[in-house]
Structure formats: structure tokens, C-alpha cells
Amino acid sequence: MRYSKMLIPTLKEDPAEAEVISHKLMLRAGMIRKLATGIYSYLPLARRIFNKVEQIIREEMNRAGGQEVTLPSVQPSDVWEESGRWNLYGKELLRFKDRNSRDFCLGPTHEEVITDLIRREIRSYRQLPLNLYQIQTKFRDEIRPRFGLMRGREFTMKDAYSFDADESGAEESYNRMFEAYTRIFERCGLEFRAVEADTGTIGGSFSHEFMALADSGEDAIVSCDSCSYAANVEKAEIKGTDFVSGDRPGPRKGMNKVSTPGMKTVEEVTGFLKVTSRDLVKTLIYETDKGAVAILVRGDHEVNEAKLRSVLGCNELSLAGDETISEVTHAPRGFAGPVGLGISITADNAVRQMSGFVTGGNEGDVHFTNVNLDDFKVNAFADIRMVTKDDPCPRCNGKLRLSRGIEVGHVFKLGTKYSEALGATFLDANGKEQLIVMGCYGIGVGRTVAAAIEQNHDKDGIIFPVPIAPFQVLILPINIDKNEVRDTSEFLYRSLNEEGYDVLLDDRDESPGIRFKDADLIGIPIRLTVSKRTLKEDMVELKSRRTGEVVLINKDSVLDEIRKRLSG
């Protein structure tokens, strides 16, 4: 392609609307433009990058036995009512009516639609297993769309669904997708970890998120220094009761009531009483669909609501408001404690190892010290807290490292949730009707591109990994009106194109300075500069965008050199 004919509207300045680097650079490199919040137009450069990522995805999905389909993005409410999600999905589901007042939504995901298709088409075990995928536009009316393509409202997703006759088949399908995803993200040049993820109400250990490592990531993950264990902090397990929580004082008898005027937070109370946060038990009141409950965690620990939800077996869970707090504790916020409390108490496992601790007094401006577990009744102990970097690896006792990640992909064993709800069955070899066992697998295409940019850039712009670069080679002629410069540039352009490389010839009538800046900004892996100065020696300058290395190459060896650099 010739730059002068392409729409690549680069910007000199950082756009004020962008917070993260990938969003800034995609705007500056003329890749995307915003139409409305979370809704973007993809310009030619972005389209080319998307095509590359999508091609990698297609190749790996096909290799893993997937078949490509395209499902409708406008979906009738009927199937969503059958799955029960029409009411459950909330405001992220964009709903509207057609001219006949029938309810529709814009698809945020396609479990319903694909299960509807499958229940009509699959009759026999002979038709299974099956894996169908699509690369398609999704719409989710996110509360907080941000960071450009990272969290959009309209975005491109590759979603795949597997259908198996039994659990072991479903697990095989899951593992095959896990491998395909590993290959996809490797080929896209990402540094990533597959982490164990929360399976919500479905349970089991068949959910992994593929996290591109980046400080700007919205997710927190832990990974072990010694073994392959890695998990989303929402899911990260804490080693049972056999861990030692530091030096623990022996039981001290005799609870004391102390006055703590205005001391509400852990910092205030521990500072005032001259103890550490590890000597205090926090009491949090939660409201759930099963009523109010009290949750106890050590002062320096945080409640993990995903774990808590599954331990309590509730759907709704939120921190209680002031009214409920004063109703159940008879005290203002900040003074709740387990002693004499009239509601169910669930305590974190770490609390079980404590004695002689501080708690709220269920009375304004009052705390208790020297409290022990026999001073109140705990209904259940469980792992309900967030992992910390001081916890040992739950698998091997090794050291855990906390980092941040961008969820670029998600693989999930669904089981029979949707086949049961929508009645997707088949006849097994004995002619008996069985439920199809499903899995679902998603990749955010735009988020993958954004993550690649988060990981590959410098102060001058993007440094595209070769496999997803919009062009592999940029030719930059200086003084194109000089015959030898024009002829050499055109010759290189022609021969590289003939070899099948993606080449951009910057034939614009702009100063070399501007063109060098744009070349760095849009991040093409190899830049060839053709100038009269080096042509005197029959040489062309080659610059690697990633290393910054500059070498002179005989103009007749350029093709060989590019082949060498871009193979593999």
C-alpha cells in the first residue's frame, strides 16, 4: 500500500480522553476513532491488525477441530427467557422492541442462540462432539466502558461452544481449547498466564482466564515462583489450617470492655490500642438474599466476595447499609463485633488461629480486648478472604507473586446448564435421551490488540509483534523526486510485495522528520530508508523498530535480509 492513498490520521499530541497507553497510541496512530462512549470505528490500520489476529485465531480454532459459523447479533427475548437470563442479565443487556412490539436484545454472548440451534439440529450421539465458533460483534452496555478497545460496549469477540456426549468428552474439548488459546496468544506475541478463575455457581476447576500481564490490567492475579500454579485473586485458594500466622499468643482469659471514642477504622482502633492489625478481628455485616450475616476476618485481611458468595450459597451479597448495621449490632458503623451478636457468623480460617484479639463492642465508642473464640459462637469457618503476597502457594508452599493482568480470553466448562434449560438432548448408543454437555470459550479481539500494545511500546509509539503488525515493512524514501531514490524504492516495494510481504511505501509529500515520527508511532517492525546518500554506495538503511538497531544493506541483498529477519 501507498501511504499517500491510505487513511492513517496520526496525531501529534496525546488525546486527553485516553488514560492507558494502548488507548492513547491507538488514537494517535490513527487506528480507531470514537463514535460514542465505548463504540469505535476501526480505521484501515486497525482493520489490518484485526485481520491478522483473526487469522491466527481461525487457524488455531480450525486446527483444534472448530467450525466457523455466524450467528445473529439481534436476538429475540424468547431464548433468553428460556435460559432465565432475560431477567438475570441486568442492564448490560441492551434491549429493544421491533415494529411488532416484540422484545429483542443485542447479543452480549451467544449461549442461548447456539443452544437453540443445536437442540434443533442434533439428534444422535453420532453427531457429537461438535465445536462451533464465530468472530463477531458483541454489545454489552457496560457500566464503565473505558480504556478504548479494552472495555468497550461494542467489541469483537471470538466465541466458541463445544458440545459433547459426556463429561469426559467435555473435559477433552476443554483441554483442546486450552491448548488452542495458548497457541493463539503465543503467536500474537503476548506475555500471558492462564490462571484458574472463579466458576461461580457452576463449580469445578474448569475455568481459566488467559491474562496478558500488564500493570494497567484490571484484574489482580497470583502466580507461584516454584510451580505452575496461577489464579485470579478472586479464586486463589488459601492453604488450609496448617499455615502459621506468625507468633500467636497463648489464650488469655478475661475479655475487657474499653472505651474507643470515635475510633472506627482498623487503623484508628489499632493505633489507639497500640496493637497491630493482626491482633484485631474485623466484623463485617453483609446483606444477602438469605438475610443479614456477620463475617469475621483478621484485621489485615480482606473479604473475598466471590468465595463468600459460594460459601454462603447466596445470589445476592452486599455490604449492609447503616440502617441494617444499627439494627443488628445496636451500634453505629465501626463498632460491630461477634460477642452477643444475634445473627449467623461465618469466620475466615485465619480467625480460628487467633486468641486474645480485639473486636467491636456492639455499642457506640466501645471495643473489646482479650476476646477469644469461646466468647461467641461461629456458625462456620471457611476460606473467605483475599490471598496476600505473604500466603504460601496452595499447591507447593512456594512463594506467591502478585501481579496485574488483562483478561484476553476465557475458557469455561458450562456442563448442562444451557442444555437443560433449553432442552438440548441427544439419543445415546442405547437410544436413551441425554443432555448435551457444553463448554464456552471467548477471546476479545480488540482487547488482545490493546494488550499487545500495552506490552510492546516505547516513548515513540507502538512496537508491533511481527505476526500482528499491520505491515511488516515500511519503505521510507528521502527525496522521492530523485530518480535513483524513486526507482530503488519502487523496486523494493514491488519485489517485497511479490514475495507476499505486507509493505507500506511512505510516498507522502511530508518532511522526513514527520515521516520518521509516524513510522515509529505506527510501529512497523522493519523500516527501510532509501536516500541518495546511502545509494551512492548502493546501500539502503534498515532499522529494527524493536531494537532500534540500524544497519546498511546492499540494495540487492535487502530481500534476503528481510526474508531472514521475518522468517519464524
Interaction site with Mg ion (CB under 5 A): 410
CB of 115 to ligand ATP, least distance (A): 16
- We find the least distance from the C-beta atom of residue 227 to Mg ion, in angstroms, to be 24
Q: Cβ of residue 207: shortest distance to Mg ion, in angstroms?
A: 8
Give the residue, chosen from 360, 361, 409, 470, that forms a contact with ligand ATP under the rule CB under 6 A: 409
- Spell out the residues 6+ positions from residue 367 whose beta carbon is closer than 8 angstroms to its own: 257, 258, 260, 263, 269, 273, 335, 337, 358, 359, 360, 361
Contact positions with ligand ATP (CB under 6 A) in 368-407 = 407
- Find out whether 115 and 78 touch, Cβ atoms under 8 Å: no
Decide whether 46 or 194 has the Cβ nearer to Mg ion: 194
Which of 410, 457, 515, 555 binds ligand ATP (CB under 6 A)? It is 410
Per-residue b/e over 277-301, b at no fewer than 16 CB within 10 Å?
Answer: bbbbbbbbbbbbeeebbbbbbbbbb
Residues contacting 88, CB < 8 A, separation 6+: none
Q: Which does 439 bind (CB under 5 to 8 A by kind): Mg ion, ligand ATP, none?
A: none
Select the residue interacting with ligand ATP from 446, 465, 470, 525 (CB under 6 A). 446
For ligand ATP, the closer of residues 106 and 504 by Cβ is: 106
54 binds, among Mg ion, ligand ATP, none (CB under 5 to 8 A by kind): none
Residue-wise over 456-475: b if at least 16 C-beta within 10 A, else e? bbeeebbbbbbbbbbbbbbb
Answer for which of 24, 140, 309, 413 binds ligand ATP (CB under 6 A) is 140
CB of 209 to ligand ATP, least distance (A): 7
Q: Which stretch binds ligand ATP (CB under 6 A): 149-157, 271-279, 321-329, 414-422?
A: 149-157
* Rounded distance between C-alpha atoms, residue 68 and residue 64, angstroms: 12
Cβ of residue 202: shortest distance to ligand ATP, in angstroms?
A: 13
Binds ligand ATP (CB under 6 A): choice among 444, 461, 465, 523 = 444
3-state helix/strand/coil string of 243-259? CCCCCCCCCCCCCEEEE
3-state secondary structure of 410: strand
Query: What's the alpha-carbon Rg for the chain, to the nearest Å?
Result: 29
Q: Measured between alpha carbons, how far is 330 from 121 in angstroms, rounded to an integer?
A: 60
Between 215 and 458, CB nearer to ligand ATP: 215
Minimum distance from residue 411 beta carbon to ligand ATP (Å) = 9
Return the residue of 129, 152, 361, 525 that touches ligand ATP, per CB under 6 A.
152
Q: What is the largest CA-CA distance in the chain?
A: 97
| C-alpha distance from residue 496 to each of 76, 475, 478, 486, 562 (Å) | 49, 10, 19, 15, 9
Question: To the nearest whole angstrom, how small is the minimum distance from the Cβ of residue 108 to Mg ion?
Answer: 12
| Nearest distance from C-beta of residue 453 to ligand ATP, angstroms | 14
With CB under 5 to 8 Å by kind, the binding choice for 119 among Mg ion, ligand ATP, none is none
Q: Report, in Å, the least distance between residue 425 CB and ligand ATP.
A: 26
Q: Write out the binding residues for ligand ATP, residues 154-183 only, by CB under 6 A.
A: 155, 157
Nearest CA among 401, 52, 46 for reference residue 193: 401
385 binds, among Mg ion, ligand ATP, none (CB under 5 to 8 A by kind): none
Q: How many CB atoms lie within 10 A of CB 379?
A: 11
- Judged by CB under 6 A, the number of residues near ligand ATP is 16
Q: How far is the CB of 186 from ligand ATP (least distance, A)?
A: 16
Least distance in Å: CB of 543 to ligand ATP? 33
State which amino acid sits at residue 554. N
User: In whole angstroms, how close is the CB of 319 to ligand ATP at the nearest point?
Assistant: 21
> What's the Cα-to-Cα distance from 468 to each of 49, 157, 271, rounded to whole Å?
6, 17, 54
Taking the least distance from each CB to ligand ATP, the nearer of 146 and 264 is 146
Q: Which is nearer to Mg ion, 177 or 475 (CB)?
A: 177
Q: Report CA-CA distances (Å) from 243 to 238, 391, 485.
A: 9, 8, 71
Q: What is the bridge-based pairing of β-strands 291-298 and 345-348? A: parallel
Selected from 54, 59, 142, 375, the binder of ligand ATP by CB under 6 A is 142
3-state SS class at 306 = helix
Q: Which amino acid is at 385?
A: R
413 is a site residue for ligand ATP (CB under 6 A): no
| C-alpha cell recorded at residue 455 | 506490552
The C-alpha cell of 256 is what?
Answer: 475487657
Q: What are the Cα distances from residue 439, in Å, to 58, 107, 176, 195, 314?
A: 18, 18, 11, 17, 24
Binds 465: which of ligand ATP, Mg ion, none (CB < 5-8 Å by kind): none
Query: How far apart are alpha carbons 566 and 138 in whole angstroms?
Result: 34
Closest residue to Mg ion, judged by C-beta, is: 410
Distance CA 203, CA 195 (A): 16
Q: Taking CB within 5 to 8 Å according to partner kind, which of Mg ion, ligand ATP, none is near residue 447?
A: ligand ATP
CA 112, 116, 121, 124 dihedral sign is positive
Among 24, 48, 119, 151, binds ligand ATP (CB under 6 A): 151
Give the residue carrying C-alpha cell 445470589: 315
Q: Select from 44-52, 335-343, 364-372, 436-444 the region that touches ligand ATP (CB under 6 A).
A: 436-444
Provide the mask over 52-91, with x wherever binding to ligand ATP is found by CB under 6 A and - wherever it is not. ----------------------------------------
Are 140 and 153 a contacting pair, CB within 8 Å? yes
Cβ closer to ligand ATP: 443 or 503? 443
In the complex, the smallest distance separating the C-beta of residue 96 from ligand ATP, rounded to whole angstroms, is: 19
Instruction: Map the footprint of ligand ATP across residues 101-120, applying CB under 6 A.
Output: 109
CB-wise, 155 or 286, nearer to ligand ATP?
A: 155
Stretch that binds ligand ATP, among 151-159, 327-335, 353-361, 429-437 (CB under 6 A): 151-159
Give residues in contact with ligand ATP (CB under 6 A): 109, 140, 142, 151-152, 155, 157, 407-410, 442-444, 446-447
